[in-house]
């Protein structure tokens, strides 16, 4: 086994080389940033080779390589893409999408034996995962099987899935988000006898709709996550692409269509609705057809999720048009991030600026004023810098503020992005011709046998999937992703059906209260309280999680205080808000200089508290994806604090079908039942906000 370089670190250093930050002068901050997504390196296994005994019905060669596609007017965009070649099988098994960076559309039948040879022509490792496909662990695209440039990995599997839509994309250690973002993604449609008997719209009347968001620079090149904020919130772009095209429109006949919708975005969550108020008719979700069609005013679609939409345009006049939009909602991002994205922080900035100027050092205020936009970090910097100045450490305070000003500027860039939860178009449908033979919507689609609690091996003791997010850590069950680091509750007995519960391991309400009071004690108290939903054996685990997340910051804080004064000043200036939290939560009391910083940072938290508080700052929605067999959603419960936000999204959840990804809102607990009956081995569970996945919000289940 050899060890790959740590791609997280490499990527981060690339971002810093953009010149937005001069991190070399801020060692404490640099150390802290490098701690982000602190996953151990991944071992490398030998790639799988073709088996002479496997007789494929369909054989495909799929190559990852650099490419160039014309997306916007002017210069072409450099991308990474899958290109496919059909070696054996029916012609429709592989369709290249015109003018798109997306990989070819693959079509398979249930029962077919498929061989896909993945070739890597990129100058970096990669491996492909078939999201939603039920295949043996070796064929699942686990990051341990990443192949280097020039290597090939041979996948051989039988299609066991029922009819449905599969998303394929890289699952490369630490760089999944980056590779998907640069174009490596595609769709697969699986058909079966049940679906065929329904005679749903097919051929030119069945349209894949892959929704993604991207950010382009002035030379039409893709810009990926360059700030800590982007990584914490997930990357969001300023432009919606459908099937890799901007301003996508679909020319249709006035008849029924089947839209196979997939959210292929890294982090963006959509609330899909027709602009004329027509309901959205859904016939299938992640794991295939529903029992009967579901009619909704809108449908939520998180990264990795799929929707099978029945779109009947019959009766619409030729020349008319209809727009699929994302409609307003709140609560999926921390309150402060939502406001920043909507550009609502400007006013508060002003107030905060004064705080900064209240300190001894004027530069801080000037730096921030110069930025002129409401970055949260910039605002913090003002406040912190001011305090620094007052406490008499002349030069450090000033420099700290300067840096924070820079951060503010960086965050100000978010003003260009499409705010999550705002109202914006996704694509336009233009009725350009009369349809003649429109099929009608079947009243019954499929048979789904619902699991009951009695069917599970553990009705009273759900397998915990505790998600937690902090400024420096994205965790599941208190641990960042590490290969084969199997904990007792991650061992699943083979051939069982398991009750599982996904929950937030620290909620919003505690932090909310704490932040509002604006004192260090309150902030710390808020945290402890926020960690409350512990039950039975998960209690200790959640405690550990809090300790882990905060501990990292505590360490950083310590470094700042013990290093030379000059450096200490920088670290404090830069990371004061984090340092404060570290100071509270690390065992024992803060001492000496540390105490001063803790208190100061606590003040910082308090400032933010007025705008939503610490818990709210960190609490956000996560689309949780489990590999191997799909699951059923049993129940959702939401805390009272979050009910108002929840009301803007919950009608858009469709929980009646087979799922492999579920959006878990802040304060929400979701119970699922999942069979582990087909394959033994290591299967992943992770957040499908790809930035979160890359920061370590991923674990493995060992089915044995």
Buried b (16+ CB within 10 A) or exposed e, 308-317: bbbbbbbebe
Neighbouring CB atoms inside 10 A of 403's CB total 25
Contact between 664 and Cu ion per CB under 5 A: no
Kindly state the tokens that stand for 275: 């602009």
Shortest distance (Å) from residue 506 CB to Cu ion: 14
Angle at 655 between CA 488 and CA 505, to 5 degrees: 40
CA separation (Å) from 676 to 160, 259, 543, 599? 14, 31, 29, 50
Binding mask 590-609 for Cu ion (x = CB under 5 A): --------------------
Nearest distance in Å: CB 615, Cu ion: 16
Please report whether residue 622 would count as binding Cu ion according to CB under 5 A.
Answer: yes
299/618 with CB nearer Cu ion: 618
Whole-angstrom distance, CA of residue 404 vs CA of residue 467:
30
CB 299 within 8 A of CB 272: yes
Residues 515-574 touching Cu ion, rule: CB under 5 A, are none
Contact between 477 and Cu ion by CB under 5 A: the answer reads no
Which of helix, strand or coil describes residue 106? strand
Tokens for 295, please give them. Answer: 């009619």
Instruction: Tell the residue number behind the tokens 């695209």, with chain if given.
Output: 141
Q: Is 465 in the site for Cu ion (CB under 5 A)?
A: no
Nearer to Cu ion, 231 or 255 (CB): 231
Stretch that binds Cu ion, among 113-121, 313-321, 543-551, 619-627 (CB under 5 A): 619-627
Which region among 59-67, 100-108, 512-520, 618-626 touches Cu ion (by CB under 5 A)?
618-626
Which segment (372-380, 534-542, 603-611, 684-692) binds Cu ion by CB under 5 A? 684-692
Minimum distance, C-beta of residue 575 to Cu ion, in the bound complex (Å): 23
Rounded to 5 degrees, φ, ψ at 189 are: -115, 130
Environment class of 307 (CB within 10 Å of its CB; exposed 0-12, middle 13-18, buried 19+): buried
Contact with Cu ion (CB under 5 A) among 188, 232, 556, 687: 687
Q: Taking CB under 5 A as the rule, does residue 114 contact Cu ion? A: no
Closest separation in Å from C-beta 301 to Cu ion: 15
Nearer to Cu ion, 190 or 545 (CB): 545
CB of 179 to Cu ion, least distance (A): 18
User: Taking the complex as a whole, how short is the minimal distance between the CB of residue 60 and Cu ion, in angstroms?
Assistant: 32
**N residues, the chain:** 704
**What number of helices (H) and strands (E) belong to the chain?**
18, 33
From 128, 399, 489, 689, residue interacting with Cu ion (rule: CB under 5 A): 689
Question: Ramachandran region of residue 459, left (φ > 0), alpha (ψ -120 to 50) or beta?
Answer: alpha
- In terms of CB distance, is 112 or 661 closer to Cu ion? 661
The angle formed by the CA atoms of residues 490, 494 and 500, to the nearest 5 degrees, is 45
Nearest in space to 484 (alpha carbons), one of 276, 699, 639:
699
Q: Are 202 and 163 in contact (CB under 8 A)?
A: no
What SS3 class is residue 141? coil
Least spacing, CB of residue 267 vs Cu ion, in Å? 8
Please tell me whether residue 695 binds Cu ion under the rule CB under 5 A: no
Size of the site for Cu ion (CB under 5 A): 4
Q: Residue 455 carries which DSSP code?
A: G
Q: Which is nearer to Cu ion, 506 or 570 (CB)?
A: 506
Q: Which stretch binds Cu ion (CB under 5 A): 421-429, 476-484, 620-628, 655-663?
A: 620-628
* Burial of 1: CB neighbours in 10 Å, binned 0-12, 13-18, 19+: exposed
CB of 470 to Cu ion, least distance (A): 12
Cβ atoms of 264 and 167 within 8 Å: the answer is: yes
Which two structure tokens, joined as six digits, stand for 30? 């640099």
Only one of the segments 42-50, 173-181, 301-309, 622-630 lies at the binding site for Cu ion (rule: CB under 5 A); that segment is: 622-630
Residues 259-278 that bind Cu ion (CB under 5 A): none
692 binds Cu ion (CB under 5 A): yes
CB of 149 to Cu ion, least distance (A): 30
Stretch that binds Cu ion, among 183-191, 495-503, 529-537, 680-688 (CB under 5 A): 680-688
142 binds Cu ion (CB under 5 A): no
What is the contact surface with Cu ion in residues (CB under 5 A)? 622, 687, 689, 692
């Amino acid at each position: 086994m050899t060890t790959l370089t740590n791609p997280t670190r490499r990527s981060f250093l690339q971002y810093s080389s953009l010149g937005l930050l001069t991190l070399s002068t801020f060692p404490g901050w640099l150390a802290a940033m490098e701690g982000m997504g602190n996953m151990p390196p991944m071992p490398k296994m030998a790639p799988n080779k073709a088996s002479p005994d496997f007789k494929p019905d369909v054989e495909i060669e799929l190559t990852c390589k650099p490419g160039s596609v014309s997306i916007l007017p002017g210069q072409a965009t450099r991308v990474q893409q899958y290109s496919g070649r059909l070696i054996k099988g029916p012609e429709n098994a592989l369709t290249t999408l015109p003018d798109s960076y997306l990989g070819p559309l693959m079509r398979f039948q249930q029962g077919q034996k498929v061989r896909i040879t993945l070739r890597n022509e990129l100058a970096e490792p990669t491996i492909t995962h078939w999201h939603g496909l039920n295949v043996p662990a070796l064929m699942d695209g686990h990051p341990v099987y990443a192949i280097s440039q020039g290597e090939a990995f041979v996948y051989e599997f039988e299609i066991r899935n029922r009819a449905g839509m599969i998303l394929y994309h890289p699952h490369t250690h630490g760089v999944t988000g980056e590779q998907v973002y640069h174009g490596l993604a595609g769709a697969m449609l699986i058909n079966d006898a049940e679906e065929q008997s329904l005679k749903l719209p097919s051929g030119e009347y069945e349209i894949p709709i892959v929704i993604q968001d991207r950010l382009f620079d002035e030379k039409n090149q893709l810009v990926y996550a360059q700030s800590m904020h982007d990584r914490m919130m997930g990357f969001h772009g300023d432009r919606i692409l459908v099937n890799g095209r901007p301003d996508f429109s679909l020319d249709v006949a006035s008849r029924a269509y089947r839209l196979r919708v997939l959210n292929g975005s890294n982090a963006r969550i959509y609330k899909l609705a027709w602009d004329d108020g027509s309901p959205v008719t859904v016939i299938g979700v992640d794991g295939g057809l529903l029992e009967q069609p579901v009619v909704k005013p809108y449908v939520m679609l998180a990264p990795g999720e799929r929707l099978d939409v029945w779109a009947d345009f019959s009766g619409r006049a030729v020349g008319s048009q209809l727009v699929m939009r994302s409609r307003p909602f709140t609560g999926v991002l921390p309150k402060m991030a939502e406001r920043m994205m909507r550009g609502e922080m400007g006013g508060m900035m002003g107030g905060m600026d004064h705080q900064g100027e209240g300190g001894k050092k004027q530069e801080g205020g000037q730096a921030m004023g110069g930025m002129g936009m409401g970055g949260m970090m910039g605002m913090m910097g003002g406040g912190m810098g001011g305090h620094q100045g007052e406490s008499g450490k002349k030069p450090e305070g000033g420099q700290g503020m300067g840096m924070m000003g820079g951060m503010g500027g960086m965050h100000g860039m978010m003003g260009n992005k499409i705010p999550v939860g705002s109202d914006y178009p996704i694509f336009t449908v233009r009725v350009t011709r009369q349809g003649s033979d429109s099929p009608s919507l079947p009243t019954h689609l499929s048979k789904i046998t619902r699991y009951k609690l009695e069917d599970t091996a553990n009705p009273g003791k759900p397998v915990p999937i505790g998600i937690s997010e902090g400024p420096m850590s994205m965790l599941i069950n208190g641990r960042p992703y590490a290969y084969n680091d199997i904990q007792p509750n991650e061992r699943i007995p083979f051939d069982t059906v398991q009750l599982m519960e996904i929950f937030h391991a620290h909620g919003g309400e505690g932090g909310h209260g704490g932040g509002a009071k604006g004192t260090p004690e309150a902030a710390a108290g808020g945290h402890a309280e926020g960690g409350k939903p512990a039950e039975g054996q998960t209690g200790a685990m959640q405690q550990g999680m809090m300790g882990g997340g905060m501990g990292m910051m505590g360490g950083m804080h310590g470094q700042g205080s013990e290093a030379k004064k000059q450096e200490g000043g920088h670290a404090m200036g830069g990371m004061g808000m984090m340092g404060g939290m570290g100071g509270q939560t690390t065992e024992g009391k803060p001492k000496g200089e540390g105490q001063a910083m803790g208190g100061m940072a606590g003040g910082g938290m308090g400032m933010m508290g007025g705008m939503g508080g610490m818990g709210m700052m960190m609490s956000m929605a996560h689309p949780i994806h489990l590999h191997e067999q799909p699951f059923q959603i049993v129940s959702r419960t939401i805390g009272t604090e979050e009910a108002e936000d929840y009301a803007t999204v919950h009608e858009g959840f469709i929980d009646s079908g087979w799922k492999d990804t579920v959006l878990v809102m802040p304060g929400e607990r979701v119970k699922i039942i999942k069979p582990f009956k087909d394959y033994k081995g290591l299967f992943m569970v992770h957040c499908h906000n790809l930035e979160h996945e890359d920061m370590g919000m991923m674990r493995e289940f060992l089915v044995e």
